[in-house]
């Protein structure tokens, strides 16, 4: 049987479509390729965007800002000494972009103007740290990215 160029093009398209469909099926069915949303209910999350930007601006306008660093014992959050520890309220969300199973919240409870999140709670890789806090009635939002070794 002789195959002309028209039949060859149809066979090539069929093989290409089979190849693409195989990979689509593989990615959808294999749990190794997890493709979940970054934020649940993202429409609701985006409706508060302007408020979030105001809180970020409040934090940016501070003369002395809190710092978030990764050290050997874990993630260390240090507030400036001129803040009173008992007036700071809020929580810290440690968010893992690659897997939401590792995300967790920690309430802010300071000892000597600092808070340490133990290394044992963290897996290696990138972490987004969102610190929502309030001081003397004013709301702040600080966002940092850290890498755990």
Q: Which structure tokens are listed for 134? A: 């309030």
Q: Rounded to whole angstroms, how far apart are CA atoms 118 and 120?
A: 5
Question: What pLDDT digit, counting tens, does each position of 57-104 carry?
Answer: 999 998 888 988 888 888 888 988 888 888 889 999 998 887 778 888
Residue carrying the six token digits 């133990």:
118
Give this prediction's pTM: 0.67
Q: Are 113 and 123 in contact, with CB atoms under 8 Å apart?
A: no
Architecture label for domain 42-148: Sandwich (2.60)
Domain locations in the chain as residue ranges:
1-35, 42-148
Q: Are 148 and 127 in contact, with CB atoms under 8 Å apart?
A: yes
Question: What pLDDT digit, counting tens, does each position of 14-48 carry?
Answer: 999 999 999 988 888 876 766 565 666 667 767 77
Instruction: State how beta strands 104-107 and 67-71 pair.
Output: unpaired
């Amino acid at each position: 049987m002789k195959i002309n160029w028209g039949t060859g093009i149809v066979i090539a398209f069929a093989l290409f479509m089979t190849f693409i469909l195989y990979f689509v099926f593989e990615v959808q069915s294999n749990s190794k390729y997890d493709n979940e949303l970054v934020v649940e209910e993202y429409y609701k999350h985006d409706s508060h965007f302007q408020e979030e930007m105001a809180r970020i601006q409040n934090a940016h306008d501070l003369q002395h800002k809190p710092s978030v660093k990764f050290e050997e014992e874990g993630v260390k959050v240090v507030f400036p000494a001129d803040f009173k520890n008992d007036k700071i309220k809020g929580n810290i969300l440690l968010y893992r972009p690659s897997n939401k199973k590792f995300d967790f919240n920690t309430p802010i409870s300071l000892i000597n103007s600092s808070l340490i999140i133990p290394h044992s709670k963290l897996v290696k890789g990138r972490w987004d740290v969102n610190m929502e806090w309030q001081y003397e009635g004013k709301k702040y939002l600080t966002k940092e990215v850290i890498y755990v070794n």
